[in-house]
Amino acid sequence: MTGVRRLCLLIIVGVLMLMVGQGWLIAHWPPGSPPEADPAAGAGAGETVGLPAAPPAGAGLEEGYISVAELKKYAQKFYLNTEFLNLLFPDKIVYKRAGMIYYADIDPALAKHDYDWARLSRSAARPAYADEDAGIRSMFGIDVSFYQEDIDWDAVAADGVEFVMIRVGYRGYGAGVLARDDRFDEYIAGAAGAGLNIGIYYFSQAIDAAEATEEAEYVLEAIAGHNVTFPVVYDFEEIAGVNSRAAHLSKTQVTENATAFCERIAAAGYTPMIYANPGWFIHEMEMSQLEKYDKWIAQYYDAPFFPYKFTLWQYSDSGKIAGIRGNVDLNLAFVSEEK
């Protein structure tokens, strides 16, 4: 980034943050706004985001209005942080896909969570959630695959980890061969021996519902005889930088695959769950068809910005845990007090 661009970005962000801090920011979208498939569309071009008629004395600004369209243009140009943009557009879900910033409407028909993020606290950089009135608390956990290599599970447990989500396997993105994670058997035995709650996830590259069901059967065979107390998760992601076998599936197909996997897992008596970041859930899946399944969201914010129901939050991919060399994903599970 050149010095001029960096200066422009600092000025824009500084002014916007000043406006937010003074309570001046107003961003209302008209009824019937067009879909957000084209972020550059001119919806809201006549609206403004900015100051009331007279700013407080000493504010240093006589006029501070910026149209919604102009704000979105600058946000795209400088590819602003979506956590910041979500503060400016609290009635939208702001996310990035393929170099574009999208502003998705919050669907009033979908069930919403009732977490109160004022109850989210942090100690030693780890968040924790407690809502005695609602009977909800958090559990601290990690997710692992063979990339974590050797793990001292007793040290992990002693560091406050309460649960672990273990990758059981994956489907290859080229030929589509099913494979076991090289460390699965070792990890599940070690985690059980350390007294941790255990969940499972499978990295899918299924191209249809039949393959997704095949993946579920593979998972069930692998976890038979183990004490799996947390969900069994369908994790379908794009493979960056390659033309994978599942790269161009329709939204409907992705949804059908997730449903097929979850239905088979549920039929076997386990709790199914779907993993994705908010943008993937909205852009690549039909959320209305997946309401019956728990969600695990990946969003590296200070607090999640996702209005729909979810029960697991992956909040970091660069955590440090005793007993593990290098980085590891960190998670909070939101559970009822009975658990």
- In this predicted structure, the answer to whether residue 39 has a pLDDT above a threshold of 60 is no
- The 10s digit of each residue's pLDDT in 195-209 is 999 999 999 999 999
pTM to 2 decimals? 0.83
Q: How far apart are CA 163 and CA 334, in angstroms?
A: 12
Phi first, then psi, for residue 337 (nearest 5°) are -60, -20
- What stretches of 89-223 show up as alpha helix (H) in DSSP? 153-158, 184-193, 209-223
Residues 6+ apart with CB under 8 A from 279: 95, 96, 97, 102
Banded model confidence at residue 52, pLDDT cuts 50, 70, 90 = very low
- In this predicted structure, the answer to whether residue 41 has a pLDDT above a threshold of 60 is no
- The 10s digit of each residue's pLDDT in 2-15 is 443 443 444 454 44
Which pLDDT value is given to residue 11?
Answer: 42
Say what the alpha-carbon torsion angle 82, 85, 90, 92 is, to the nearest 10 degrees: -60
CATH 2.30.40.10, domain 117-336, yes or no: no
Banded model confidence at residue 338, pLDDT cuts 50, 70, 90 = low
Banded model confidence at residue 66, pLDDT cuts 50, 70, 90 = confident
DSSP 3-state of 175: coil
Helices 251-267/209-223 angle, 10° precision: 30
Q: Residues 115-120: what's their mean pLDDT?
A: 97
DSSP 3-state of 24: coil
Which pLDDT value is given to residue 63?
Answer: 58
H or E, element range at 258 = helix 251-267
Residue type, 203: F
Within 13 Å and on the Cβ side, how many CA atoms surround 338?
A: 0
- The 10s digit of each residue's pLDDT in 134-189 is 999 999 999 999 999 999 999 999 999 999 999 999 999 999 999 999 999 999 99
Which pLDDT value is given to residue 242?
Answer: 83
Tokens of 77: 């140009």
Q: How far is CA 66 from the centre of its chain?
A: 30
Average pLDDT, the chain: 86
- The 10s digit of each residue's pLDDT in 78-99 is 999 999 999 999 999 999 999 9
Higher pLDDT, 305 or 17: 305
Which pLDDT value is given to residue 155?
Answer: 98
Which pLDDT value is given to residue 32?
Answer: 35
Q: Residues 119-128: what's their mean pLDDT?
A: 91
Share of the chain above pLDDT 70, in %: 81
- The 10s digit of each residue's pLDDT in 221-267 is 999 999 999 999 999 998 887 889 999 999 999 999 999 999 999 99
For every residue of 275-335, DSSP letters joined together read: EE-HHHHHHHS-GGG-TTSEEEEE--SSS----B--SEEEEEEEE--TTB-S-EEEEEEEE
Q: Residues 35-61: what's their mean pLDDT?
A: 41
H or E, element range at 93 = strand 92-97
Domain ranges of the chain: 3-105, 117-336
- The 10s digit of each residue's pLDDT in 294-310 is 999 999 999 999 999 99
Residues 6+ apart with CB under 8 A from 92: 29, 36, 86, 103, 104, 105, 106
- In this predicted structure, the answer to whether residue 190 has a pLDDT above a threshold of 90 is yes
